[in-house]
A = this chain, B = another copy of it.
Amino acid sequence: MNNIPKPTKTELAILNIMWTISPATVRQIHEEIIKSGKTSYTTTLKMLQVMHQKGLVTRNSEYKAHIYEPALTKKETQKQMLDDLKNRLFGGSISSLVLQALGSNAKTNQSEIDEIKALLEKVEKGK
């Protein structure tokens, strides 16, 4: 099977770093992690190994220091997790999710609103 599991909380934190600096070695990733909290190098290493085992990241072992990359783009992961949340809490309805998201957040700026509107038009046209 080719199914990549949903990342856990800690795994997601690591992926967020990797989306900005990968391809990267464990050392490089670890340097970023410790900017916001203390952790052992081996903890980071172990996390990457487990994530590789799960298929969340790929790695190149050609050199002594392996080089890691996320298996999915940030966008793909966003889609995956949004989909999960939609199914588990919004009865499978994306619009219900969107309504709730917009409704509980008034500080959306004009250009963002325009962007959303434009996208809505596109969705409308595409029917």
Contact = CB atoms under 8 A, between A and B. Distances in A.
A72 to B, nearest CB: 12
Copies of this chain held together in the complex: 2
Interface in A107-127: 108-110, 112-113, 115-117, 119-120, 123-124, 126-127
Q: How large is the interface on A (under 10, 10 to 19, 20 to 34, 35 or more residues)?
A: 35 or more
Main secondary structure of the interface of A (DSSP, over half): helix
A105 interface: yes
A113 to B, nearest CB: 6
Given A85-B81, A116-B120, A98 B102 contact: yes
A19 to B, nearest CB: 10
A100 B119 contact: no
A117 B110 CA distance: 14
Interface stretch (A33-41, A42-50, A58-66, A87-95): A87-95
B95 A119 contact: no
A118 to B, nearest CB: 10
Closest 3 CB pairs of A and B: A95-B112, A94-B105, A79-B104
